[in-house]
Amino acid sequence: MSAYSSVSNLFKIALIGAVGMGFLAVGIFMFGQFFKLIIEFKEIQSWDTAPARILSAELIVDKASRKNEGDTYSVSASYSYIYERDFYKSDTVYPSSSSDNFGTYHQDNAELLKRHMASGENYDCFVNPDLPVESVLFNDLRFSMVFFHLLFITAFGGGGFCSLYILLNPAWKFLIGHIKKLDDKPWLLTRKWRSPKVGTKMTLSSIILFVASLLGVTLFVLATIFYIYLFGITFTTKFSVLVVFTLLFLFLAVIELKLFKTWNQKKRIFIHLDPHPGKIGGKIEGTFVIPFQLTDCDQLNVSLKNRVAIVTPKGISGYEYLYEKEFTILAKEFISRDNQIMAPFKFDIPQTAKPSRAFNLLTGSSIWFLNLKFKDGKNRFEFKFDVPVF
């Protein structure tokens, strides 16, 4: 029975959905705040300047409630200014309220205002020409805040999308399976299992590096676009740093993409299942196809494992291997054809084994792996195949 047809799983479904929607909402909210920040900054650049007399200036320190959290800072000030022969007073320091501990921005501004107040020297403020009562003392865009917003947008927005995907993907497959009447052929719902040809799995480290590279490219490209939008193409230190990091992450992403294409096309070892798929109470049988010649290899070491993720109401409690068996293919059993090596294999699967079930946070998973290890001269190879067993 599917997880989505059991009432006992409704709470977990609702919880995952709530977490995903919450993360997505935070990402959308931070994007709104970021967009507001950029628009405000763009508007203030066209405001007029007016000499202001600093009447008071103070650094506000908000003590952290926890020891592992740092104090946050903001600036409080009042000032007067004359604009078009009219007198005004204001206590607005920044375009929006700001309290944080990124660098010494607030401390430096508080000291700057205190020096002008002590010396009596005027400090230019920025006045809205359409509404002169509206003014600010500082109109610079802090890149630490830009990256802070972009980081939250990518992290929480991406986390929300991933959580909803984990929830909705199995539900979507369950629905499609009923619509297409594939209840007796569930492996057809998984694209990689629709054919008896099954490819190797990409390593987790490569996937993580590729995703991290793409996130880095996205983050710095967005920052560069907004920089150009606000300041144009000006070859300052900040612009150079943005471009360099964008190119760096793009370089890493391109390298990972090339490695992926090489893994996926040129040197990809695959298996051909016959019959397809493996059968509970029957066997899983087929042929390994190695798309290159082996010059000094006397055997292939093969193992079949069934790993099950155990899920409790509190979450994933661990993994357990319910089936493990090893098999050796000797070199004399290899078949060489068209610059390829083909090696047959066969495993019996007990009637009590659990069928394949893709991972989800509701019912756990049951994954069948075929592992292939061999040594060709000084080179060692290891490949993993996620195979269907039903």
Q: Where are the domains of the chain?
A: 1-45+141-184, 48-138, 201-267, 270-387
Cβ–Cβ contacts within 10 Å for residue 341, how many? 21
Q: How many residues make up the chain in this entry?
A: 390
Tokens representing residue 135 in the block: 């003014």
105, 61 in Cβ contact below 8 A?
no
Crossing angle (nearest 10°) for helices 143-179 and 10-44: 140
Q: In whole angstroms, what is the distance from residue 237 CA to residue 345 CA?
A: 60
Q: In whole angstroms, what is the distance from residue 104 CA to residue 81 CA?
A: 27
Q: What are phi and psi of 386, to 5 degrees?
A: -95, 105
Tokens representing residue 364 in the block: 């756990």
Which contiguous run of DSSP H or E holds residue 345? Answer: strand 340-348
Where the chain has pLDDT below 70, the residues are 1-13, 66-69, 166-183, 201-214, 216, 226-227, 229-235, 238-239, 253, 255-267, 311-317, 359-363
**pLDDT 10s digits, 120-163:** 999 999 999 999 999 999 988 887 777 778 778 877 887 787 77
Distances (CA, A) of 213 to 65, 150, 225, 323: 36, 15, 18, 37
Q: What is the pTM of this model?
A: 0.50
Cβ–Cβ contacts within 10 Å for residue 284, how many? 24
Question: Given its phi and psi angles, is residue 142 left (phi above 0), alpha (psi -120 to 50 degrees) or beta?
Answer: beta
Q: For residue 329, how many C-alpha atoms fall within 13 Å in the half-sphere facing its CB?
A: 24
135 burial (CB, 10 Å; 0-12 / 13-18 / 19+) is buried
27 burial (CB, 10 Å; 0-12 / 13-18 / 19+) is buried
**pLDDT 10s digits, 311-367:** 666 656 678 888 999 989 998 888 888 788 889 999 999 998 888 887 665 667 788
Q: In whole angstroms, what is the distance from residue 252 CA to residue 210 CA?
A: 8
Which of these CATH numbers, 2.60.40.640, 2.102.10.10, 3.40.50.970, 3.30.1330.40, describes 270-387?
A: 2.60.40.640
Burial call 249-268: b when 16+ CB within 10 Å, e when fewer: bbebbeebeeeeeebeeeee
Question: So what's the pLDDT on residue 134?
Answer: 94
Tokens representing residue 385 in the block: 């195949």
Question: Given its phi and psi angles, is residue 175 left (phi above 0), alpha (psi -120 to 50 degrees) or beta?
Answer: alpha
Tokens representing residue 289 in the block: 């196809």
